[in-house]
Structure 1
């Protein structure tokens, strides 16, 4: 079974095609033939060994990847699902060892897999599960109400873009950051206010909302630098484990998407929103799996808008 993985942690050049055994199909599980796997920043951290200490599997190869799309090829015994063999599907992967999205065949819990959005290519579908569920979880944790205000950093990225679109659909007033080159993109996602990105983004938000915004989704990982944008007692969602500085009664929620990895209805809701045009599925470029190293180089060089996608 072909996969793109590493036998030794390192830079992009460490990624190469490896042979991995087929995974057994058990109760409550589905087997997918993977045709597309999105490339995310978390994959580059996995490739470099940042998560090695918490991976229960210690033997290489290690296969990154948290997003897949393809064809359902098997249904395990005693599996409750409305899917059928042959359906086009997408799923979220919690990687362990060789069990990552960059492989041409994978077994996942039934709760992690839903139909691909109608009208979307496999490459487009692969951009939705992990980032979409991360955005959904961030908004659920903050529990903002319609007409409240939300600031989004990293709004041109996949996570930030989904947060903007979901928040606008729920009646929130969104102020998002963007570079000059990305301002039109971010406005197109629905943000009612756009401020210039940078270390002073909190000051720019306060110019628009002097009392501070009700919530903040910090997709650009600015942590303490952007907390001043939020009013006293407001709420913050972070994506790299940051828990705040304990000031001003801010409610800070580190967003760990693994908590939603089997929230099938949440993923199905995202599918429907993609079909309805609420969410935009953005593919920046595709690479054959054999060029996974080049995809990682491209991502780490910065400036990618949308997701890079590996194809099998």
Structure 2
């Protein structure tokens, strides 16, 4: 059944638009190439495809951050959506209790983030993305420094305390996703594996489901607000036939290959993102100080989570 997902999406991609999408695909082949890698990373890890698309779009392809964010939300609705169907069809373990408490917090704050994004300068948005990515690299390092550590296949507890934590971090992740087009998956994955000691084989598909449900809501928001227009629609059409394959392939790879390989690739990409940001993004003193404070805050929270003994 999973093999039917791409052909069915391809049929809709080709016949539903008023004109043939093939010229759009040829014109924006760089978008498609970027998302071939981004969608695979999105399906195989706890990062959405937008985490690859955003820096490439804003730094290499010179696409405005607003368009990159809207593209990320729109494209993840397809790529991560196909990964979601693959998870369901392959009956991959998912922690539904975590999803139940994260998503109600993420969707309202996603709307807030979409409204706040216009008030931030482009350089601040791009450096915020870098800060979130670098803090996630730290979380990955803390998570993998002791591979032999025992992990839970499901949440060890799901009482008022745990539900509140999931709701709060879901709200924080939704806000960041509204600003950047992705981020919920990073924030919640870090909480699941560092604090609750959830096995990454369960945490990864769980955050994919969370991101899909939040992204679908975000896609509906940008369409209803009249923001889903050219050139974002053209980028989206160019990416669809690629991401519908890359997402499921990433899910399949995650369930069969050693995760440490993907982790090392991710950390390498994040280091490249950090270096490129320092070289290419002009920073004033206020933005630099704000970015440093935010990074230290994220890092402190993640480090305290890694030391917690409550859920060991």
Give the structure-2-normalised TM-score. Answer: 0.25
Instruction: Name whichever structure is richer in helix by fraction.
Output: 2
- Higher strand fraction (1 or 2): 1
The structure, 1 or 2, with the larger RCO (C-alpha pairs under 8 Å, 6+ apart) is 2
Bigger Rg, structure 1 or 2: 1
TM-score under structure 1 length normalisation: 0.25
